[in-house]
Chain A
Amino acid sequence: MTKMLVGKVTDIDIKGSRIVRVGDHEIALFRLSDGEVLAVENKCPHKGGALSEGMVCGSKVHCPLHDWRIDLHTGVVQEPDHGHVVTYEVEVDQSNGSIYLTERSL
């Protein structure tokens, strides 16, 4: 996946999320309180819950289905649960707020 422009920072609410579809993948973009934008695969490793719908607390999101917590920086599921989700490289052009997304090479 090459670098692509997906939208503007202001399209995402603080502590909110928006989704991007790439082929048949869904990616959830989150905007944290400090303005940082992070992106992960929109699929909880537990039962496939849409993480974009969850509550953002600090840099973690709570899956709306069963309250699994996922670290948005690393994609790692927090104790007591286990697993991880794919994370994506996000770049924000500070001059105009454009968000660019690149797939992380695993």
Chain B
Amino acid sequence: MTDIRKKLVLVGNGMAGVRAIEHLLKLSPEAYEITIFGSEPHPNYNRIMLSSVLAGGSSMEEIIINDLEWYHSHGIRLYMGHTITSIDTAKRKVYSDKGIVMPYDELILATGSNPFMLPLPGAEKEGVIAFRDIKDCQIMQETSQSYRKAVVIGGGLLGLEAARGLLHLGMEVSVVHIHPYIMERQLDEPASVMLRKELEEQGMKFLLNKQSEAILGKKRVKGLLFADGEIADADLIVMAVGIKPNVELAQKSGVQTNRGIVVNDYMETNIPGIYAVGECAEHRGIAYGLVAPLYEQGAVLAKRLAGVPTDGYPGSVTSTKLKVSGVDVFSAGQFTERTGTRALRYQDEIEGIYKKLVIQDDQLVGAVLFGDTGDGAQLFSMIKNGENIKGKEKELLLGVSSDALASPKGNRLEGMADDEIICGCNGVSKGTIAEAIQSGGCTSVGQIKACTKASASCGGCKPLVEGLLQLYAGDNVVTVKEGICGCTTLGRDEIVAEIKRMELKTVKEVMNVLEWNTEEGCAKCRPSLNYYLGMLWPEEYIDEKESRITNERYHANIQKDGTYSVVPRIYGGVTSPAELMKIAEVAAKFEVPLVKFTGGQRLDLLGVKKEDLPKMWEELDMPSGHAYGKTLRTVKTCVGSTFCRFGTQDAMGMGIRLEKAFERLNTPGKVKLAVSGCPRNCAEATIKDFGVVAIDGGWELHIGGNGGVHVRATDLLGVVKTDDEVIEWASAFLQYYREQAGWNERTAQWVERVGLDSIKEVLEVRENRLALQERIHTALSVTTDPWKQIVNEPELRKNFEQLSEMKTV
């Protein structure tokens, strides 16, 4: 059967073209029959890594991006070592130097660029090469085995990389540069001088302000003659003065060229069906020589070919972030001063650090960083966004990460000792995180979490982890779509929407239908799904106790030694002598090691053996205080008008009423309430999830407070007059939180995330409040006291007892 797919031919088997093909295969794997021609006798390899091959860091095999198997498995026909010599644009055919004629429907030119060879007399001699491809690397390696002296012409990035490689191969290297300072395209003079000193220490010699005149020698090169008459001895000359787009094929085929092959925003040339990407392409007057823009172009072209809508390629603001011989260098934008710009500089020759920011009209337009490029990514995004940095200039210069602006600790990150603990919950040090990023290849907070556990528990250190990621990964930071856990890429809202849409009714069903990548989930997603299902289907969902966290499964707080604690409900923190005596008797009877008042006005009986729990609950005959769950914990109160001379309302009465109304309610995170009888706020209602403060003739309602990991004061939701209204608003608020927040998201985080106004907007409409109240009633109507239930059901109770006790035989 003949293939009726359209024929796509790619000329050039390099990084840009093949990248576009990779994208295309993802978008539309079956759309084209693909053929690739490449001049080099290799599959697609990473040209950027050539210097690392030279420097001995990688092998030739390691820098292959797509091996032959990849071409084969995607049904791509590959002609290695074939150069396309002409294009018949009328008949839509290309011709290779080895006689292959290939018809095409769509043609991509990705011919890259050629090293620019100075037309010096003697340039054809043996031992004069460029630094561009694998063959050049091989020649350098061979030469180094029998010759000593190498001269590199060109003090730009390419030249320095070549020189570094030659040094590594054991040769003496001189770098010849026409300018007074090296890497003038990426660095300003002070940074350049610092770099040169560093490289000189590593053994490189520099011949600056030198115009090359002629290459000396008979068959093989002997030396290099300069315009000033001086001669440098050389057994090998590497020309690394620049690259020029390879436009020859396009030019003779009638494709419009300038410096490069001229393309529009969709990478289309002037001839229909012919596109160009990569170093050979010239977009809005610029031919890019860096990887990122070429990848962006490839993505646009792939969408175009796949028929996927795209806004086109807008051009790239480029930055240079590199390690030159172990020295970190970064520059971006317009980093040399000109009229109308101001510069801030910081230079520390002891530490070898130099920073410069160039500012115009309160916007960052350029930056140079030397020795410490941790802020590169952040500065680069500011240059691109053109945001106003007025007043922040010095902070930016002194390297405060964006997270640090929110967290006072951030600017210490760099100076922090490696053994300083970042994650207090899991004892993860700065050094461990740095290592995970630098050698473990972690590029996101999620990966760092999986790899080191940092930020895996309370999450309080996440800003610091993010700061370290900025610091050590810079441009490589990947913003991945993080699912609710590692078992899925779906976020909370997507999951809840799908459960509703498809009416999924069990945890297992959700995992199957939404294609979880683990068989039975993990300790994060299982409780989340259990919560969402219970919230969405309150009357029919049967709670899965095996998907609840330990504390909620056993209705007690597990302690570090495996014992548990018992906290009975003491509504509103108000007790009685009889109740206290009962608690005391039970504590004595079961020899409870520790009796403690909690922060929430109740009593905690700690150190209880698991098997004693049901017996104690039975004797106490009090409801569970739910001190262990994502549910209503305490309602803290002050004395209020009952005794207090300042009290304006009955705080205790209101607290007890609230606690009785909402006890046993499942919520995304734990919920703490408080009621104060006057604005002196002795019950500290303004750091609670829902706080009520009495005023003369009414109640203030406060939401989203937290006194825990991140202290947050509440926002005022509103003021109401009657007790019933307090209940109505509290019901509506709690139900709206239940329906909107993610599992394990406290109200404080939720309010921050969605904004107070969005919550107010919903709750200020009375119909909404009543509908929410209706739904919370339904949810509450199916709850029972868990302690009582366990006491009365042997099937539940058995799990608190050991299976058997054996005497050692």
B-binding residues in A (CB < 8 A) = 1-2, 4, 6-7, 11-16, 18-23, 29, 33, 47-50, 53-58, 62, 64-67, 80-81
Kindly report which residue of chain B lies nearest to residue A25, judged by CB atoms: B808
**Interface pair B806/A11, CB less than 8 Å apart:** no
Chain B residues whose C-beta falls within 8 Å of the C-beta of A20 in the assembled complex? 802-806
**Interface pair A57/B526, CB less than 8 Å apart:** yes
**Interface pair A6/B806, CB less than 8 Å apart:** yes
Residues facing A in B776-809 (CB within 8 A) are: 798-799, 802-809
Given contacts A53-B554, A80-B453, 17 further A-B contacts (CB under 8 A): A4-B806, A6-B803, A7-B804, A15-B520, A18-B798, A19-B802, A19-B803, A22-B808, A48-B561, A50-B558, A53-B562, A55-B550, A57-B523, A58-B520, A64-B549, A67-B457, A81-B453
Chain A residues whose C-beta falls within 8 Å of the C-beta of B381 in the assembled complex? none
**Interface pair B523/A67, CB less than 8 Å apart:** yes
Chain B residues whose C-beta falls within 8 Å of the C-beta of A47 in the assembled complex? 560
Known: A6-B804, A80-B450. A33 touches B520 (CB 8 A): yes
A-B contact pairs, 12 of them (CB 8 A): A1-B808, A2-B809, A14-B546, A18-B802, A22-B808, A23-B807, A57-B518, A64-B549, A64-B550, A65-B560, A80-B450, A80-B452
Known: A53-B562, A80-B450. A62 touches B522 (CB 8 A): yes
Report how far A27 CA is from B453 CA in the complex, Å: 27
Q: Is B144 an interface residue (CB 8 A)?
A: no
A-binding residues in B (CB < 8 A) = 426, 450-453, 456-457, 518-523, 526-527, 546-547, 549-551, 553-554, 558, 560-562, 610, 798-799, 802-809
**Interface pair B562/A55, CB less than 8 Å apart:** no
Chain B residues whose C-beta falls within 8 Å of the C-beta of A14 in the assembled complex? 546
Chain A residues whose C-beta falls within 8 Å of the C-beta of B560 in the assembled complex? 47, 65
Chain A residues whose C-beta falls within 8 Å of the C-beta of B426 in the assembled complex? 66
Report how far A6 CA is from B317 CA in the complex, Å: 70
Chain A residues whose C-beta falls within 8 Å of the C-beta of B551 in the assembled complex? 64
**Interface pair B520/A18, CB less than 8 Å apart:** no
**Interface pair B803/A58, CB less than 8 Å apart:** no
Chain B residues whose C-beta falls within 8 Å of the C-beta of A50 in the assembled complex? 558, 562
Chain B residues whose C-beta falls within 8 Å of the C-beta of A54 in the assembled complex? 523, 550
Chain A residues whose C-beta falls within 8 Å of the C-beta of B519 in the assembled complex? 57-58
8 nearest A-B residue pairs (beta carbon): A64-B550, A15-B546, A62-B523, A23-B808, A50-B562, A18-B803, A58-B519, A58-B520
Chain B residues whose C-beta falls within 8 Å of the C-beta of A23 in the assembled complex? 806-808
Interface centre among B798, B803, B806 (most CB of A within 10 A): B803
- Chain B nearest Cβ from A104, distance in angstroms: 16
Q: Secondary structure at chain A's binding surface: helix, strand, loop or mixed?
A: loop
Known: A55-B523, A58-B518, A80-B452. A64 touches B558 (CB 8 A): yes
Report how far A18 CA is from B519 CA in the complex, Å: 23
Chain B residues whose C-beta falls within 8 Å of the C-beta of A1 in the assembled complex? 808-809
- Chain B nearest Cβ from A68, distance in angstroms: 9
Known: A16-B546, A18-B803, A64-B558. A57 touches B522 (CB 8 A): yes
Kindly report which residue of chain B lies nearest to residue A4, judged by CB atoms: B806
**Interface pair B798/A11, CB less than 8 Å apart:** yes
Report how far A64 CA is from B554 CA in the complex, Å: 12
Report how far A19 CA is from B523 CA in the complex, Å: 21
**Interface pair A55/B526, CB less than 8 Å apart:** yes
**Interface pair A53/B804, CB less than 8 Å apart:** no
**Interface pair A53/B558, CB less than 8 Å apart:** yes
- Chain B nearest Cβ from A44, distance in angstroms: 10
**Interface pair B562/A49, CB less than 8 Å apart:** yes
Kindly report which residue of chain B lies nearest to residue A15, judged by CB atoms: B546
Report how far A15 CA is from B521 CA in the complex, Å: 12
**Interface pair A16/B808, CB less than 8 Å apart:** no
**Interface pair A13/B546, CB less than 8 Å apart:** yes
Chain A residues whose C-beta falls within 8 Å of the C-beta of B806 in the assembled complex? 4, 6, 20-23
Chain B residues whose C-beta falls within 8 Å of the C-beta of A6 in the assembled complex? 803-804, 806
**Interface pair A13/B799, CB less than 8 Å apart:** yes
**Interface pair B550/A21, CB less than 8 Å apart:** no
**Interface pair B802/A21, CB less than 8 Å apart:** yes
Report how far A20 CA is from B801 CA in the complex, Å: 10
Report how far A96 CA is from B428 CA in the complex, Å: 49
- Chain A nearest Cβ from B628, distance in angstroms: 11
Report how far A62 CA is from B548 CA in the complex, Å: 12
Kindly report which residue of chain A lies nearest to residue B796, judged by CB atoms: A13
Kindly report which residue of chain B lies nearest to residue A29, judged by CB atoms: B803
- Chain A nearest Cβ from B629, distance in angstroms: 14
Interface centre among B452, B518, B522, B804 (most CB of A within 10 A): B804
**Interface pair A66/B457, CB less than 8 Å apart:** yes
**Interface pair A7/B803, CB less than 8 Å apart:** yes
**Interface pair B799/A18, CB less than 8 Å apart:** yes
Chain A residues whose C-beta falls within 8 Å of the C-beta of B520 in the assembled complex? 15, 33, 56-58
